[in-house]
Amino acid sequence: MDELGRLEDLPEDYRAALTEKNLVPLWPSLRAVLPRGKPAIRTQPTFWSYQGLRPLLMRAGELTPIEKAERRVLVLANPGHGLEKMQASSTIYLGMQLLQPGEWAPSHRHTPNAVRMIVEGVGAYTTVEGEKCPMSRGDLILTPTGMWHEHGHDGNEPVVWLDVLDLPIVYYCEASYVVEGKAQTVTAEAVEQDFQRGGVLPAPMFKRSGKTFPMLRYPWADVRRTLESMAARQPGIEAVQVAYVNPENGHDCQRILGYSALMLRPGERLAMPARSTAMVFHQIEGSTEVTAAGQAFRLADADTCCIPGYEPITLQNLAADRPSFVFIADDAPLQKKLGVYEIRN
């Protein structure tokens, strides 16, 4: 195809007439929105060191009381989108949140979906629609769209977790907002225990719960045990990985973003094909080198990185004597619904 015409090639009076009527010629900008063969990617490979950000997060706890912050968070922003946009990728928001002993982050509900991956500390909890979910390192806790939630801390040391939200895409849809509420009354605890055996579900009166999100807390102790069991039983399996799903229907645990946990055996190297989704990697335990797009990031405990889509990725367990455990987030559920999800071998 010949080179497309440029906007400046058009007469000035014609351009002025178009502007007056809120019209824009497509052809000068066509390749910006429909590039050939591969999307225009703004997400950059980006690494966030937990040991680097932790002192700044703790200082935030000293500088700003929870009453003035509501949620005390440092956002992990990708420079490819502009730091002011507070995006890790086009669809994913990441933030490290701090709750100090005795603090309470007030109840609210919002349209973006959120999950909490607990990084350090004990004694804190999230209450979601009356269900109290204790926080321990590596636990995944859901706070889905429209559900009341609050955070409290009865312990004696700081608790930190990684927030993962689909905020950018919900904001882009002009559907992002929050509603403040009152403190919740705890009506249930440890509901996840009802789903701790594969193939066995609660069935009162032979009916499932009917809840859109029947399981809100995925304890790391159980996920870790499952990964170790898979590795032992299936030594030849390509990837020791489990997905966080709705236990009643097997669907992704949330509608827009997807989550999984991956175990790399001691010294293991895993090559992942290029996919259309940007991917977030967060180190739960161990150490992993993530290589993609000509860059290599060495992840230690609680480090996080984001890799843009359409890039092959290699993961390498840097330890020869112990496994590495990685939490992964992407927007595959959304892309599959839109029919644009790709794997390029």
82-115 pLDDT, tens digit per residue, is: 999 999 999 999 999 999 999 999 999 999 999 9
pLDDT at 46: 98
Specify the higher pLDDT residue, 163 or 200.
163
What H or E segment, with its residue span, contains residue 117? strand 114-120
Residue 329's nearest CA partner among 301, 310, 305 is 305
Beta strands 279-285; 324-330: pairing state: antiparallel
Q: How far is CA 250 from the centre of its chain?
A: 19
Is the pLDDT reported for residue 19 higher than 90? yes
Residue 202: which pLDDT band, with cuts at 50, 70 and 90? confident
Q: What is the mean pLDDT of residues 172-190?
A: 94
Is the pLDDT reported for residue 206 higher than 70? no
Beta strands 131-134; 188-189: pairing state: parallel
Q: What are phi and psi of 192, to 5 degrees?
A: -60, -20
- What are the residue boundaries of the structural domains of the chain, listed by start? 46-195+204-344
Q: What is the mean pLDDT of residues 208-220?
A: 87
Give the CA angle between residues 259, 261, 266 to the nearest 5°: 155
The single-letter code of the amino acid at 334 is: L
Which CATH fold topology does 46-195+204-344 show?
Jelly Rolls (2.60.120)
Q: What is the mean pLDDT of residues 1-5?
A: 70
Helix, strand, coil percentages (3-state) for the chain, rounded to 5, are: 25, 35, 45
List CB contacts of 18: < 8 A, sequence separation 6 or more.
24, 25
Q: CA 112 to CA 175: how far, in whole Å?
A: 8
- Quick one: tokens of 178? 């929050």
Give me the residue label for tokens 């090639």.
9
pLDDT at 200: 72
